[in-house]
């Protein structure tokens, strides 16, 4: 994988550009993708953004989100767009498997493939150019760096600023995580100069749910959370019937995994959800417990040091038992 700086001359050579992100995109994945879209549009490129799956309703306020193609819903349309691509930007994922059913299609494409990501252990052999930097707070910050590094700071408009701000704010936990460096604050200050309303963006992301989600959260905290003080850990396990009962949609479980970390002494929090077709897992930690390694070893996943995800083909009960066994194996690291 060649350095990202080598693609800068390509910005001024108009062509067919496709931008994609990981399945079930969050605010960073969607924000960085749409931020890049608004940047590259200014060079006359023909640009499409393709998500591997659907996305949360609370992301639909982002400028140009209505233009994003859902690969699973519009496979033929998305495939035609991919076949015509001259450049493919892959944002906020480290391996093609994180694009779900689209992975094989992306692998076979002969266009220039470019990676911009901040997760650990990227599959660099798949990409022609790119950058992978786990020290970065978000992919949104990396797109900002790309724009600045290429010498086009003046092209940052309100649309770009809104998208990138949403991405960096969400991935830093509203700027409270350790990844929030001085550079992040300088970035936000520069973005604010475009005049966007940061309060409205916060409301769009965090105060934009239906009543059923709040009642669902109360239910799982009361009835589905187990705390293992001997391991300084907590688990929320959610059966499929709960998702059906509370009419839970894509994005409604975002952030729930963080709730147990507010309990004094808890270093590891896990959310395990039966999605019917498979079990999805989220892990968060405090301090020096590496949930990236934990997810890779036990749950076919990975991510960041303090935030990662995984999956399981077992039943929900079996996955819970597997988690408990993993806690016992990691007892010394959790003390």
Q: What is the mean pLDDT of residues 82-101?
A: 94
Residues 175 and 86 in one domain: yes
48-71 pLDDT per residue, tens: 999 999 999 999 999 999 999 999
Are 19 and 47 spatial neighbours (Cβ–Cβ below 8 Å)?
yes
Look up the domain containing 32 and give its range.
2-206
User: End of a domain among 144, 179, 206?
Assistant: 206
Q: How far apart are CA 194 and CA 210, in angstroms?
A: 31
Distance of CA 322 to CAs 81, 82, 255, Å?
42, 39, 23
Per-residue model confidence (pLDDT) at position 121: 87
By C-alpha distance, which of 253, 251, 235 is closest to 320?
235
Per-residue model confidence (pLDDT) at position 204: 96
Residues 312 and 178 in one domain: no
- CATH code of the domain covering residue 266: 3.10.310.30
Residues 124 and 170 in one domain: yes
Give the number of domains in the chain.
Answer: 2
User: End of a domain among 183, 206, 229?
Assistant: 206
Residues 202 and 228 in one domain: no
Residues 181 and 300 in one domain: no
- CATH code of the domain covering residue 16: 3.90.1640.10
Residues 45 and 156 in one domain: yes
Q: What is the mean pLDDT of residues 135-139?
A: 97
Model confidence, pTM: 0.93
Q: What is the mean pLDDT of residues 114-135?
A: 94
Residues 60 and 190 in one domain: yes
In terms of DSSP H, where are the helices of 131-284?
139-149, 158-171, 182-192, 198-206, 211-223, 240-245
């Amino acid at each position: 994988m060649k350095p990202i700086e080598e693609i800068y001359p390509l910005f001024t050579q108009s062509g067919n550009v496709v931008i994609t992100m990981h399945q079930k995109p969050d605010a960073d994945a969607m924000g960085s993708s749409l931020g890049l879209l608004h940047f590259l549009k200014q060079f006359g490129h023909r640009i499409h953004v393709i998500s591997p799956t659907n996305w949360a309703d609370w992301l639909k306020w982002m400028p140009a989100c209505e233009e994003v193609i859902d690969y699973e819903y519009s496979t033929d349309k998305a495939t035609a767009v991919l076949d015509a691509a001259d450049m493919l930007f892959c944002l906020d994922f480290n391996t093609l498997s994180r694009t779900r059913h689209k992975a094989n299609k992306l692998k076979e494409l002969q266009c220039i493939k470019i990676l911009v990501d901040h997760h650990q252990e990227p599959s660099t052999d798949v990409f022609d150019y790119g950058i992978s930097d786990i020290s970065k707070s978000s992919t949104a910050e990396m797109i900002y760096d790309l724009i600045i590094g290429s010498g086009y700071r003046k092209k940052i408009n309100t649309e770009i600023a809104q998208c990138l701000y949403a991405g960096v704010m969400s991935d830093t936990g509203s700027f409270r995580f350790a990844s929030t460096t001085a550079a992040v604050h300088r970035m936000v200050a520069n973005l604010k100069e475009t005049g966007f309303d940061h309060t409205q963006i916060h409301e769009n992301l965090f105060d934009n749910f239906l009543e059923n989600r709040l009642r669902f959260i109360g239910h799982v905290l009361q009835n589905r959370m187990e705390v293992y003080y001997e391991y300084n850990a907590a688990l929320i396990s959610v059966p499929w019937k709960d998702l059906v009962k509370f009419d839970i949609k894509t994005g409604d479980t975002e952030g729930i995994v963080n709730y147990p970390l507010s309990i004094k002494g808890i270093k590891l929090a896990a959310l395990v959800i039966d999605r019917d077709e498979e079990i999805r897992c989220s892990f968060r930690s405090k301090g020096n417990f590496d949930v990236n390694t934990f997810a890779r070893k036990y749950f076919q996943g990975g991510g960041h040091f303090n935030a990662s995800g995984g999956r399981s083909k077992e039943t929900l009960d079996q996955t819970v038992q597997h988690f408990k066994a993993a806690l016992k194996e990691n007892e010394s690291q959790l003390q």
